[in-house]
Amino acid sequence: MRILAVLLIALALGGGGAQASAAPLEKVTIVLPSETPTMHPLTESNFIGTITWRWAYDTLVSAETGSGKIAPWLAVKWEKLGPAETKFWLRKDAKFGDGTPVTAAAVKYSFDTIVAPETKSRQAAYFRDYKGIEVLDDHTFIWRSKGPDNGLMTRISTWGLIVNPKTKGKELAIFAQTSHGSGPYVLKTWEKANRMVFEANPGWWGKAKHPDMPKTVILRRIVEPTTRVKALLAGEVDIMSGVPPHLIEQVRANPKKAVAAVPGIRLMYLNYSHGIGPLADRNVMLAINHAVDFEKIRKTILGGLAEPMGQLYHPWTYAGYDPKRKWYPYDPEKAKALMKASKFPQGFKVTVYTAIGRYPGDKETCEAIPGMLKPIGIDATCKPMNYPLYTKLRRAYIDDKTKDTYKKREPALFYQGYGNSASDPALIMRAFVGCKGAWSYYCDKELDAVIDKAARLSDEKAQDAAFGKITDTFKERVLITPFFRIHDVYAYDKRLNFTARHDEKIYPWEITAK
C-alpha cells in the first residue's frame, strides 16, 4: 500500500496552526533528550542530528508541516527525465554563511562526500543507488541513480544537506565552532553535553517568508524527562519533546503551558546480536517474541500513546506499508514450548541494553522485559545507560559482526527506536539488516541483493509487493521485533504558535509569538 500523505491526527492535547504573531521572538529555548554527535551533517546517522542540522543547513526539498507533502526548498523545481534521472533547478538567492552562492557544484560536492569511502559516512548506505550528479550550470544539474529510485525525493528531504565546498579537507572540529550551510540559523556556540546557541542567518533566502522567526534559538540537552518537564514549568525552556505519559496532566494543569501529541514515525523495536549463542536458535528468537507483552507495555508504560505495529514501515513510507500486518502474538505458553524445543531448554543469561531518556519509556520498557522472559527460563538483566555509552557498545557489536571475535561476545538484546524520517523502505531495511547497515547486527548478501532489487523497481505496485515480501522474510527469520510506533508528545509555552510535526523535526523558523 502506498501512502504518500496521511492525515495527522493531533490528539486534543494542544497544538495549533500558524497564526499572526505580535512581534518577532527575541529568543526561543528548546530542550531535547540528547545532542547530535557532530554538526557535520554528512557523516552520521542520528535522529537528534536530523533535527538540529536543518537549523543551519538546507536540504534540496522539504516535507511540509502538517501534510508531509514534499515541497521546494533549495530546489525550486524538478523534473523526472527517466526512471533513474531527475533534473533539478536551484534557487538563485541562496548563499552560504560566508556569502558564497549555493551552486550545483556544492550539491555535487555534498553527495559525493557522503558516498566517498574515505568519509566513512553512516549515511552512505542510504545512497547506495547514487550514481552521480552532472552539473549543467551553477543552478541546474541532473541526478543520476544506478537504477529506478521512487524514494529519492523523500530521502533527500532529510538526508544529504548541502555543505559549503570550502570545508573540503578541513578537520571535523570546525563544524563544532560554526556552521557551514545556507540554512535559517548559524551555530554560534556549543557547550558539549549542555547547550547550543544559534543566531538567525541575516542572509537566509527564506527570511521574507518567515519575517517573525526567532532571532536566537537555544538548544538545551537534558536527559531525564522529569527534569525537562521541571525546566519547562519553571520557564527555563519554551518547548520540550518526549513528555512522559505520567507527566502530561502535570503540564496541562499549568495555565501557561500546553501539550501537543501526534502519531509519529518512530518505531520502537528489539534488536538482537544475531548468531551469538542462543540467539542463533530460531526457536529461542520466536520464544522471545511470544513472551513479550507489547500491548501491556503500550498501554501501561506509554499510556496508550503509541500505535501497534506488525512491520517496520510507517504509514508515510512510499512502499511496503500494510495496516493489516500483524506480528507474532503474545502467547507465553507457546513461548515455553518453543524454548523446550530449542537447543537451550534450560534457559540462558542475556543482557537487555537501552538508552536512558532517549525515547519515551525506554528505561521502563527495558526493566519490564526481564520479568516477561523469566517464566520461559531466560535470565535477562536490563542495563540502561546514557546514549553515548549505549552507542559505543552497540557499534562495538556491529563493527565486529564480520570478525571472528563477534561470536565470542555475550548475547545481547537492544531496545531502541528508529524514525525513518525519509519515509524510505529500502533505507530502513538496509539500516537494520544490511551488511553495512548503521544499525545492523546481521549480514546476508543475498538479502542485501533482494532489498537492492526492490529499491530499483520502477513499477509502484510491484515495488509495494516486493517490500511486503521482505517484511515476510524479516518475520520468518525473526530479524527485528517491532513493538509499536510512538506518538510524539510535546509541551510548550502558550505564548508561542507551535505546531507539532509527524517526523520528529522542529522547525524554529516556523515558531512565532502570539
Write out the three cell numbers for 513: 509569538
Q: What are phi and psi of 36, to 5 degrees?
A: -70, 145
Does position 79 have pLDDT exceeding 80, yes or no? Answer: yes
Output the CA torsion 84→51→62→461 (10° steps).
Answer: 50
1-5, 64-68, 113-117: lowest mean pLDDT where?
A: 1-5
Mean pLDDT along residues 244-251: 92
Q: What is the mean pLDDT of residues 22-26?
A: 82
pLDDT band at 7 (very low <50, low <70, confident <90, very high): very low
Nearest to 430, CA basis, from 417, 412, 442, 413: 442
* Average pLDDT of the segment spanning 303-331: 94
Q: Alpha helix locations (H) across 15-137?
A: 47-56, 104-115
Say what the pLDDT of residue 125 is: 81
* Spatial separation of the C-alpha atoms in residues 368 and 483, rounded to whole Å: 13
Q: CB-based burial of residue 103 (10 Å sphere; 0-12 exposed, 13-18 middle, 19+ buried)? A: buried
Domain 27-256+494-513 is of which CATH architecture? 3-Layer(aba) Sandwich (3.40)
What separation in angstroms does the CA of 99 have from each of 102, 122, 202? 9, 29, 11
Whether residue 9 is predicted with pLDDT greater than 50 in this model: the reply is: no
Cα–Cα distances (Å) from 390 to 28, 379, 386, 416, 479, in that order, read: 30, 21, 6, 10, 20
Name the amino acid, one letter, at 418. Answer: Y
Cα–Cα distance measured from residue 159 to residue 134, given in angstroms and rounded to the nearest whole number: 19
- Reply yes or no on whether the pLDDT at 221 is more than 80: yes
Distances (CA, A) of 122 to 21, 100, 161, 171: 40, 28, 14, 18
CA distance linking residue 303 with residue 300, whole number of Å: 5
12 pLDDT more than 90: no
**pLDDT value, residue 61:** 98
What is the reported pLDDT for 336? 98
Q: What is the pLDDT of residue 179?
A: 92
How would you class 110 by CB atoms within 10 Å of its CB: exposed for 0-12, middle for 13-18, buried for 19 or more? buried
Give the integer Cα–Cα distance in Å for 32 and 219. Answer: 7
**Cα separation, 219 vs 128, whole angstroms:** 33
Does the pLDDT value for residue 212 go beyond 90?
yes
Q: What percent of the chain has pLDDT over 90?
A: 81
Domain ranges of the chain: 27-256+494-513, 263-487
Q: Are strands 216-221 and 195-200 parallel, antiparallel or unpaired?
A: antiparallel
Average model confidence (pLDDT) for the chain? Answer: 92
Of 47, 51, 29, the closest CA to residue 240 belongs to 29
- Are 85 and 79 a contacting pair, CB within 8 Å? no
Whole-angstrom distance, CA of residue 231 vs CA of residue 239 = 10
Predicted confidence band of residue 18 (pLDDT cuts 50, 70, 90): very low
Band of residue 22 on the pLDDT scale cut at 50, 70, 90: low
Confidence of residue 14 (pLDDT cuts 50, 70, 90): very low
Is the CATH number 3.10.105.10 carried by domain 263-487? yes
**Predicted confidence band at 20 (pLDDT cuts at 50, 70, 90)?**
very low
- pLDDT value for 423: 87
The pLDDT assigned to 420 comes to 87
| The three cell numbers locating residue 117 | 569511502
Read off the pLDDT of residues 367-383 as tens digits, 9 standing for 90 and up.
999 999 999 999 999 99
Dist CA 399 CA 270 (whole Å): 19
Q: What is the mean pLDDT of residues 128-154?
A: 95
